[in-house]
Amino acid sequence: MTKQIHLAAHFPGVNNTTVWADPESGSQIDFASFKHLAATAERGTFDFFFLAEGLRLREVKGRIHDLDVVGRPESLTVLSALAAVTTHLGLAATVNSTFNEPYELAKRIATLDHLSGGRAAWNVVTSWDAFTGENFRRGGYLDKADRYVRAQESLRIVRKLWASWSDEDVVLDKEGGVFAREGTGAFADDGAHFSIQGRFGLPPSPQGRPVVIQAGDSDQGRDFAASGADVIFSRHGSFAAGQTFYKDVKDRLAKHGRSEDSLKIMPAVTVVVADTDDEAVEKARHIREQQVSGPTAIVLAELIWGRDLSSYDPDGPLPSEDPVVGSNITQGRTGFNDPATIIKEWREAAEANNWSLRQTVINQQNRQTFIGSPSTVATEMNHHVQENAADGFVLVPHLTPGGLDDFVDRVVPLLRERGVFRSEYSGTTLRSHLGLPR
């Protein structure tokens, strides 16, 4: 049977994928930008719109990182506003389980779910670092190993609160004077991280409960996703890595008593479309050059080398030093697990092609996932989905807010023609778009 593709739109974020210096780059904070991109995604009948979260501005060598987009609005508030100007599009908020309490999370996300008629999703992320903790009254108190324990417990409790009402508990009997049954919403939980009790004040929305998204990539993270997520936002966009990840995660579902189609795997991908494949390759190269300025090349290399490389010329050769393992030269972003291997690959590529440091970064680090004519991109994307490298994709555009225009105008019609992507929404809730039961 032909699989249907699922698509999501990621608002351009605070890393160098986002090209802010382009003349077409608009505001990263005005509501109009969010509205524009959401409208484009809804025109393209996407499954959902995705917002990341920030809890502390990134730092490099003890100073605020100033080369990429800095700052963003709080995600649930923006999505609640977007509920007013969209009708079908799912609205996914990234919210940290370490620095929020389950009761608050359950209440705020359930509110979005009601306001949007059943279109809310929670992307559960975790953090433990004392750096982020400095902005919170409870500080960086969590052991790294404990973060998934807390996340898992948090998710379990949030879902318990969402399930604390049944549909029948909302009576709305005006004559009898019964709004809702008394005693509904009562909960109590006593775990390693939370000991709480009380009453939850929101019944189920039209989709029953919000969709849960998870992005963890470690063994622990994959198990966490397999045990309870509806969608995985993965980083494995390439075909081979995608297939390996897909099989690994789907194989974990059985031990949790779940079917394979109950968890959708959607890698983050970037797409460059042009009239011909050759033009697309040229356009992709131009975008990569925009994404990696000289100073950005140095900072990205510092992230891998774990040391100060500011004395290097980005247009000169690669640094000759070995990496510093476990350095905290950059704060507030994910590092690399195996810098030595990356550096070895970079050195070999630089030598073979006679590349400078900046050229090496441009060529090694930021290759877009799908590059080509609309037909090529549609064919490749569909190939990934039909061959189980993905169930769909989270598209990360490089421009705000027009970065998905080309894709929606030129690729989506082809996917529709080929019968692998919806032409119109058949339901009104996000669960329905994703083919998940209420």
Give the annotated binding-site residues for FMN.
94, 148, 218
Decide if 398 contacts 175 (C-beta within 8 A).
no
CB of 401 to another protein, least distance (A): 15
In 3D, which of 346, 390, 388, 342 has the Cα closest to residue 369?
390
Considering only 141-149, 291-299, 379-387, 389-397, which stretch makes contact with another protein by CB under 8 A? 291-299
Residue nearer to another protein on the CB measure, 262 or 293? 293
Whether cis (ω within 30° of 0) applies to the bond prior to 401 is yes
Q: Strand, helix or coil at 237?
A: coil
Instruction: Check residue 136 for interaction with another protein (CB under 8 A).
Output: yes
Cα(422)–Cα(370) distance, rounded to whole angstroms? Answer: 20
Residues near 21 by beta carbon (within 8 Å), at least 6 away in sequence? 290, 293
Site string for another protein, 384-413 (x = CB under 8 A): ------------------------------
Site string for another protein, 302-341 (x = CB under 8 A): ----------------------------------------
Dihedral of CA atoms 131, 137, 140, 142 in degrees, nearest 10, equals -150
* Cα-based distances in Å from 380 to 167, 235, 283, 372: 43, 17, 18, 9
Tell me whether residue 326 is exposed, middle or buried, using C-beta atoms within 10 angstroms of its C-beta: 0 to 12, 13 to 18, 19 or more.
exposed
# residues contacting another protein (CB under 8 A): 74
Instruction: Check residue 64 for interaction with another protein (CB under 8 A).
Output: yes
Work out which of 70, 149, 281, 349 binds another protein, going by CB under 8 A: 70
Considering only 142-150, 254-262, 290-298, 404-412, which stretch makes contact with another protein by CB under 8 A? 290-298
Considering only 214-222, 293-301, 367-375, 383-391, which stretch makes contact with another protein by CB under 8 A? 293-301
Instruction: Quote the crossing angle between the two packed helices 357-365 and 294-305, to the nearest 10°.
Output: 70
Work out which of 2, 24, 61, 74 binds another protein, going by CB under 8 A: 74
CB of 83 to another protein, least distance (A): 5
Considering only 99-107, 224-232, 257-265, 317-325, which stretch makes contact with another protein by CB under 8 A? 99-107
Work out which of 42, 47, 68, 302 binds another protein, going by CB under 8 A: 68
Q: How many helices (H) and strands (E) does the chain have?
A: 15, 17
Binding residues: 94, 148, 218
CB of 22 to another protein, least distance (A): 9
* Cα-based distances in Å from 125 to 87, 94, 98, 174, 232: 27, 7, 8, 42, 12
Beta strand residue intervals within 274-415, DSSP E: 330-331, 370-372, 392-395
Decide if 232 contacts 250 (C-beta within 8 A).
no
Work out which of 3, 4, 39, 100 binds another protein, going by CB under 8 A: 100
The DSSP letter of residue 264 is E
Residue type, 8: A
Q: Is the dihedral of CA 261, 111, 193, 214 positive or negative?
A: positive
Considering only 132-140, 217-225, 353-361, 413-421, which stretch makes contact with another protein by CB under 8 A? 132-140
Dihedral of CA atoms 73, 74, 77, 79 in degrees, nearest 10, equals 80
**20-39 residues near another protein, rule: CB under 8 A:** 20-21, 29-31, 35
Residue nearer to another protein on the CB measure, 89 or 271? 89
CB of 64 to another protein, least distance (A): 4
CB of 85 to another protein, least distance (A): 5
DSSP code string of 27-71 = -SSSHHHHHHHHHHHHHTT-SEEEE---SS--EETTEE--SS---
Instruction: Check residue 56 for interaction with another protein (CB under 8 A).
Output: yes
**170-229 residues near another protein, rule: CB under 8 A:** 170-172, 174, 177-185, 194-203, 205
Considering only 82-90, 148-156, 270-278, 407-415, which stretch makes contact with another protein by CB under 8 A? 82-90
Residue nearer to another protein on the CB measure, 52 or 263? 52
Instruction: Check residue 438 for interaction with another protein (CB under 8 A).
Output: no
The torsion angles phi and psi of 213, rounded to 5 degrees, stand at: -115, 145
Instruction: Check residue 117 for interaction with another protein (CB under 8 A).
Output: yes
Residue nearer to another protein on the CB measure, 67 or 274? 67
